Chains A and B, each alone.
Chain A
Amino acid sequence: MTNTHPTLSRLLATLGLAVGTGGGCMDFGDAEEPLALQTHVDDWRDEVIYQVLVDRFANGDVSNDFGVRYDDLARYQGGDWRGLRQRLDYLQQLGVTTLWISPIIRNVETDANVDGYHGYWAQDLTQLNAHFGDITELRALVDDAHARDMKIVVDIVTNHVGQAFYYDLNLNGAPDINFQGNGSPMNPTRHYTEYDPDFDPRGVQAFTSLGEAGPAPIVFQYDPATGHIPPNPALLRDPAAYNRKGRTYDFDDPDQLLHGDFPGGLKDLDTSRCDVKQLLVDVFVTWVEQTDIDGFRIDTVKHVEYAFWRFFTQRVRARLAERGKHNFLMFGEVFDGRDALLGSFTRHDILGTGDLAAALGRPGPVDPSDEEQLAAEAECVTDGVPLRGDQLDSVFYFSQHFQAVRDVFQQSQSTDRIEALWTARATNWGDTPNEDGIGVAPRDMPINFLDNHDVPRFLYNVRDRDAQTQRKLLHNAIALQFTAQGVPCIYYGTEQGLAGGNDPANRERLWDTGFDVTHPTFAWVQKLAGLRAKYRSLRRGGLQVLWSTTAVADEADAGIFAFERLGGDGGGSYAVVVFNTNATKASTTRTETRDMVVTAPAGTVLVDVLGGGGDAVTVGDGGVLEVTVPALSAMVLVPQAEVD
């Protein structure tokens, strides 16, 4: 109320009625004041990340339970930021240090009888999702977390928005879901939906019974009750801000991957446009400025051009550095089993569409030279700071999810698959920390996860085993997650033994478990988090594989996988980790032709701090270490000196 007369303004303020000059008698905490951003993280490798689907974690405020339906996991369930804040003790007790929370912004409310509870259907990038709370609640969550030396990472989406518009394929001005054609060769039957038509490289085309009729008009939906309203900010209401090519169905086609709508009618932004790039930087940096959060988890990374990631990550880091915030983590989801593709988003090479096509195994264009690409991208630069090759700080280790967690730890395939994967990471992933990034090379900090909201839970995939075996399998995989190089990321509910299948069955209400801190898996995670906190080698140390095998049957070393954590930034800390992934027998780190040789000198007494196989072993002559590990278990061996 800048136009208010000063005397009147003072009077109103006295009465608690002033608008725009303060809350009067209303207490918003510190949410009215601009935040002084701070750096809350020393080394992200020290963190244990816990993925929270906010709607499903805890319901702390029933007053925002708009339209919840407990009988349908595809609809809102009532979880919110206050509920999460009320359960920070639980998470801290578990050993969690960082919370990755689902997207915070306003979403399309409901589409096709599914709610936007997950947060990936953006409608207004400038508004918070009122189902979860308001800015006061979000700030309180971040503040409370920081007070416990916990960090908050927020999920964001730059590839697409929600179901913003439909393609008026038949030019009738109304959204249709229809069949057309009589099945004859000249007029084949086709099923189409104007909300989500198939990809067309020319752009989605309108057609009538007489044939094609040019580009299909874009019609922004307007149904406030379901939240189908034109997106915000205003640029997102311009059809030109979108690629308008329809739904991706071939994820290995670079054009479809980059320019197709995400299945479900999620409209693909034209992230090659300078205004779109700048908008996304602006809106998401603003949320950092509003909340002092510590990082972004970024959705659907492989659906966006490398050039965008260069611009986005570098501009976000620069903007935040100006505000005094450093070490801001940006890691992404590249939902793909190809490690080279994952790593490509962390490399500093000036990659282009041709490189993407090569990673996808498809023919593609010949990319311009690095200089030419950067020159083209510089058109979007307004602050004069040239773009470099820097991209994301890390990505989810999806290749490990498939090749190690699934193949080896669930399906008992040979452990040499893990070694091969880890070895490849050294060359596939970026080897240089990003400028003003987190200070760690991406290859040294993969985000290790067993499962998440997009895949069945670990226990679902081993549901055909007996309960005891299921738990052993899970615990062994968790041990890998916490001891491998990188940062562990636990999907909420794993600690309570949730076992849901595909979406939305894997998005259970956690409060139904009663937040049981005596659950065996809770205790297991708690123990591993404690070991990780205690032994620096497990967090920051380098990694060297000691043993892997092709043996999967009755061989002496069948299922053995061992590595040691040493060097790197681990200081003098040292650990040897040995897994037996074989489900039927104990295995050992020795065969008739081979011994396991560790870096620790002969005579070093190593203590199994995980308690999986024995109390202590001594490194033999020549560094030979022979241990026998029971089926489906692991050992974490650290020097006696460190234990004490």
Chain B
Amino acid sequence: MPPQHRLRLAALAPALALAITLHAGLAHAEPDTATEPVATEPTPPVEPTPPSTGDDERARTEALERRVEALEAELKRLAEASAKSDAQTPRAAKPAQSAPTPKSTRTRAPQASSGDSSDNRTPDYAEGFHFGSYGRVVAGGDHRGRAGRDGDIVSFGSRLDESNYAELELRREDYWEETDSYTRIVATAAVANPMFHYSGVFAAKLAMRNLYIEESGLGAKHLKVWAGSRMYRGDDIYVLNFWPLDNLNTLGGGLSYEFIPNLVLKLHTGVNQPDNGLFGQDVARPRPLGQIGSQNVRITDRQKSISSIKLSHIFAVGKQGGIKPVVYGELHYMPKAQRERETQQYESLPDDVGFLVGTQLGLFTGKRSTHLNLVFRYAGGLAAYGEFNAPSRLAPDRTSKGAREIIGALSGNYEVGPFGLLLGSYVRSFRNASPGLDVDDLGEGIVLVRPTVWFGKIAGLSLEGSYQAQRRGVLLRQPDGSNKPQFGQLGRIGLVPFLTPAGRGNYARPHIRVLYLLTMRDAGARRLYPADDIYAIRKVDHFFGLGAEWWFGSTSYFRD
């Protein structure tokens, strides 16, 4: 952005510094990210009324005045929130940041199904560079000294024994006076296990989870447009590390429009290419023009295109509470292609299509993140396999026709006084496209509860209990001569004492914590592992760990 186009607010620096100080103090305990935890969050505030677009100095002055007013209103709100928060949880003072936050002039309903506190608010637009992060690091192992390992048998189980992961988000945000619009450029780098201090290998398993630009208010005040590479998703079940309704990872773009306050339509389309021979096939060919050697040629090179639509609205209930219904759909498509079976012998691959429909009903009180979310979704064909997966066990016509996935999920949070209770549960039924049942056809479910008690404002203790079960589409011979489907069950009990400098709240972070997790597998659960796998042997497992988890200032939990 040319410097001359940038709004300068030097005169407002003292007020802004205070505002940012307060905001930073509130924002450091926000929920997280990608494959990472996010409770249902408030939608970001609507930007201020745009100034007139004329070139005259008067219009500029008016625009500045409107922004100052908006900033003053924000300052007042933040000061009130701070005072309220200070009454509950003392916070460390943060250094001043640089810019004010645009605010909507609309009257808004309560902001989200679960967020009743600014702890969980998304970062507002503020000019300059910003940093956010989610992370978890754990040092631990089992009772015999083996490294820690995820012990769940369902697709999404307890996250207590998940391995190290962190996102480092750098963001650039600008307000454009010329167009009264905002730009946000987001780059989120993520690192996964193993860590250097664990393996001694000076390397990182690195991925870019976000790399996109979002324009807000450009051309239409309530319009947002984005393009790039983006995690694009809705509400999660934190304790299961699971986004039950929508969770897309594509290269593409989208837009959202708020027709009336809190009635938002989101459209998105994107592509990806799973790392699978059904999508890409490289074969060696002689180098051209008579040169020596070979080079790879991409014979199969097709992409999966995924489009989504989401309509959500928040109906206010009382002063802070609300009801948030969501309807959602996806369309998946991949074109026909060909691949090489034998050398220079080709076969055709048909095009394929899938769809997904889902709905969510969220209820929230607006107080201490108390909420309850109910989700149902149905996916068919290509969509049943998920956006990053290649379809497998295909139908006779080599499409994913006939595959389907059904998910029902219930999650929530309740906090009162020094007590809190998190709930995560779902049931899932999956059938692949091949006729008949096979080992990949399954039904599974989990119920997980995590009660917590806080000791004062600096520490707490969580218990976690879960029951999970999975049935697969293979029959096992029984002693009585009958055949029954493979069925495994697993129970887990966890104990998590933690330090919480951000104070009370199931979504308050950071945490420094000690982990203990007892896992009990029945014979069916053990059968899911190959011979000599320790989980095929052990009925009972103990996991001990010492770790940390944090989140702050990241867009990954934005809902747009």
Contacts and interface: CB of A to CB of B under 8 A. Distances in A.
A223 B344 CA distance: 12
Contacts of B295: 224
Given A222-B343, A222-B344, A124 B284 contact: no
Given A222-B344, A223-B284, A224-B284, A66 B292 contact: yes
B292 A128 contact: no
Contacts of A131: 292
Contacts of A220: 343
A134 B294 CA distance: 18
A385 interface: no
A128 B290 contact: yes
B285 interface: yes
B286 interface: yes
Nearest to B294: A224
A106 B284 CA distance: 18
A124 B292 contact: no
Interface string B281-293: 0001111001111
A66 B290 CA distance: 13
A130 B291 contact: yes
B105 to A, nearest CB: 57
Interface in B418-470: none
Contacts of B290: 106, 124, 127-128, 130, 134
Contacts of B294: 224-225
Contacts of B343: 220, 222
B161 to A, nearest CB: 45
A224 B291 contact: no
A224 B290 CA distance: 12
B293 A224 contact: yes
Contacts of A223: 284
Interface in B257-311: 284-287, 290-295
A225 B291 contact: no
Contacts of B291: 130
Contacts of A130: 290-292
B112 to A, nearest CB: 58
Nearest to A131: B292
Nearest to B344: A222
Contacts of B293: 66, 109, 224-225
A239 to B, nearest CB: 15
Nearest to A109: B292
A134 B291 CA distance: 10
Nearest to B292: A66
Interface string A372-408: 0000000000000000000000000000000000000
B127 to A, nearest CB: 46
B72 to A, nearest CB: 62
Contacts of A611: none
A229 interface: yes
A41 B282 CA distance: 52
Interface residues of B, number: 12
A486 B188 CA distance: 81
A124 B286 CA distance: 12
Contacts of A106: 290
A229 B286 contact: yes
Contacts of A603: none
Contacts of A67: 292
A219 to B, nearest CB: 9
A223 B287 CA distance: 12
Interface in B136-187: none
B342 to A, nearest CB: 8
A557 B291 CA distance: 60
Interface string A51-87: 0000000000000001100000000000000000000
Nearest to B286: A224
Contacts of B292: 66-67, 109, 130-131, 227
Contacts of A224: 284-287, 293-295
A19 to B, nearest CB: 13
A220 B345 CA distance: 12
A131 B286 CA distance: 15
A149 B165 CA distance: 76
A526 B357 CA distance: 91
Interface string B14-43: 000000000000000000000000000000
Nearest to B287: A224
A227 B293 CA distance: 7
Contacts of A229: 286
A529 to B, nearest CB: 36
A109 B285 CA distance: 14
B298 to A, nearest CB: 15
A524 to B, nearest CB: 39
Interface in A224-240: 224-225, 227, 229
A639 B116 CA distance: 123
A229 B344 CA distance: 11
Contacts of B285: 224
A128 B291 CA distance: 9
Contacts of A66: 292-293
Interface string A123-148: 01001101100100000000000000
A225 B284 CA distance: 8
A227 B291 CA distance: 10
B288 to A, nearest CB: 11
A130 B286 CA distance: 13
Interface string A191-227: 0000000000000000000000000000010111101
A540 B292 CA distance: 45
B545 to A, nearest CB: 48
Contacts of A225: 284, 293-294
A477 to B, nearest CB: 39
A224 B291 CA distance: 11
A227 B294 CA distance: 8
A109 B284 CA distance: 15
Contacts of A127: 290
A130 B292 CA distance: 6
A229 B286 CA distance: 8
A342 B344 CA distance: 44
B344 to A, nearest CB: 7
Interface in B204-237: none
Interface in A555-589: none
Interface in A565-619: none
A229 B293 CA distance: 11
A54 to B, nearest CB: 15
Nearest to A67: B292
A223 B293 CA distance: 10
A516 to B, nearest CB: 32
Nearest to A128: B290
Contacts of A124: 290
Contacts of B284: 223-225
Nearest to A106: B290
Nearest to B284: A224
Interface in A334-355: none
Nearest to A126: B290
8 contacts: A67-B292, A106-B290, A109-B293, A130-B292, A222-B343, A224-B294, A225-B284, A229-B286
Given A222-B344, A224-B284, 7 more contacts: A66-B293, A124-B290, A127-B290, A130-B292, A131-B292, A224-B286, A225-B284
Interface of B: 284-287, 290-295, 343-344
Interface of A: 66-67, 106, 109, 124, 127-128, 130-131, 134, 220, 222-225, 227, 229
Counting from the closest, the 8 A-B pairs by CB-CB distance are: A224-B294, A222-B343, A127-B290, A66-B292, A224-B286, A224-B284, A225-B294, A130-B292
